[in-house]
Amino acid sequence: MSKETFDRGFEIRKKVLGAEFVEASFAAADDFSKPMQELVTEYCWGAVWGREELPHKTRSMLNLAMIATLNRPHELKMHIKGALKNGVTKNEIREIFMQVAIYAGVPAGVDSFRIAKAAFEELDAA
């Protein structure tokens, strides 16, 4: 593992998802799950999100479309919240999920709208 890439990923991950969430994920990791936390932090957040060729807002928008298409509701809710922190607007999120509905199927789009509504409500309540 590259400490530099991991450290960069850890900082980006905390910026996008929130320090409390990321630190709790690491605190909850055990011998079984800790290697996955390290892998995700180094490679997803450090090696890819750490690249400068795309802004974080664009990466968030891409993630929303891909994760919605893959039907990963837990990850989608988390990335919706992160996308808002990266400057993606609710209107842009709506348009992303409209596009998902056309290209990945209406059920994926409908589920994405439900998950987004729940994420917005959680953020509004906080």
Domain boundaries, the chain: 1-53, 54-126
Specify the fold of 54-126: AhpD-like (1.20.1290)
Distance CA 40, CA 107 (A): 28
> What is the pTM assigned to this prediction?
0.92
Q: What does each of the 126 residues of the chain score in pLDDT, given as a tens digit?
A: 689 999 999 999 999 999 999 999 999 999 999 999 999 999 999 999 999 999 999 999 999 999 999 999 999 999 999 999 999 999 999 999 999 999 999 999 999 999 999 999 999 998
Within 13 Å and on the Cβ side, how many CA atoms surround 30? 1
